[in-house]
Amino acid sequence: MKIPIEISARHVHLSREHVEKLFGKNYKLKKLKDLSQPGQFAAKEIVTLINGKNKIENVRILGPERSKTQAELSTTDARHLKLNLPLKLSGDIKNTPGMILKNTKNNKALKLTKGVMIAQRHLHCSLNQAKKLKIKNNQIVKIKVLGKRGLIFNRVSVRVSPLY
């Protein structure tokens, strides 16, 4: 069975509280485009990530809002920002560092005390796909990519969604 493989670039998930701190009271994120996971979208809004003198501009916010704010970055991003980031599953912000998020359009900023990480590789699949592949939510699998430049991804966490 084939499941699409996608790359998730650096992005931020915001809580309701932090959406309002950065964009204003009762502000609603505006959808730029849908993502492959049902109900998920890339928002029109962007922020700048700041750690000391280092920053990364134009970082996309993904919706909908989450219960906790988090920023998912690459290893290269972490080096640029001079952050020692843990490898974590999205949503697990325990023992993660923070940074500053800034909306440069209105100059509002917030200081995160935690929530910045390198996201562990993961596979999103539907309940039906999981049944066919005989895999379960949070199971760790290997994924083989075929082709001239084939490779094997080790230690991929399965994320089964009932929304597919």
pTM confidence score? 0.89
Which token pair is 50?
Answer: 């700041």
Q: What is the DSSP string of 100-147?
A: EEEETTTTEEEE-SS-EEEEPPEEEEEHHHHHHHT--TT-EEEEEE-S
Residue whose token pair is 């939510």: 137
Is 19 a residue whose pLDDT tops 60?
Answer: yes
β-pairing, 116-119 vs 108-111, is: unpaired
What pLDDT is stored for residue 38 in this prediction? 80
8 A C-beta contact, residue 160 and residue 134: no
pLDDT, one tens digit per residue, over 36-57 is 888 889 999 999 999 999 999 9
Query: What is the domain partition of the chain in residue ranges?
Result: 11-119, 122-161
